């Protein structure tokens, strides 16, 4: 089988990373993970600096109870698959 050479232009990649649909999808995934992890976990999203604003989302434990749930039961770690 011949070797495939893949080329891209930086401009095209930046356009893809900045698509509103991509931002919405990433935000939705973070919210699903936070919901599955339980009370006290919150999804946060923003535009990152690389390439002019790619979508970044993360889930954090915002209460002591949520922190303990992650430390003892791995509540957030187990919820990761909810983002699929």
| Residue 50: per-residue pLDDT | 63
User: Tens of pLDDT along 15-74?
Assistant: 888 888 999 999 999 999 999 999 999 999 888 776 567 889 999 999 999 999 999 999
| Residue 51: per-residue pLDDT | 58
Domain boundaries, the chain: 20-83
**pLDDT of 3 strictly over 80:** yes
| Residue 28: per-residue pLDDT | 95
* 37 vs 13, more confident: 37
- Other Cβ atoms within 10 Å of 57 Cβ, number: 20
Residue 78, token pair as written in the block? 């187990």
* 69 vs 84, more confident: 69
Find, among 51, 74, 48, 52, the residue nearest to 61 by Cα: 74
| Residue 18: per-residue pLDDT | 84
């Amino acid at each position: 089988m011949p070797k495939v050479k893949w080329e891209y232009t930086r401009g095209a990649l930046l356009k893809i990373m900045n698509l509103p649909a991509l931002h919405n999808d990433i935000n939705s995934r973070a919210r699903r993970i936070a919901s599955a992890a339980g009370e006290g976990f919150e999804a946060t999203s923003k535009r990152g600096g690389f390439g002019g604003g790619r979508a970044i989302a993360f889930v954090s434990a915002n209460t002591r109870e949520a922190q303990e749930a992650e430390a003892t039961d791995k509540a957030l770690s187990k919820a990761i698959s909810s983002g699929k």
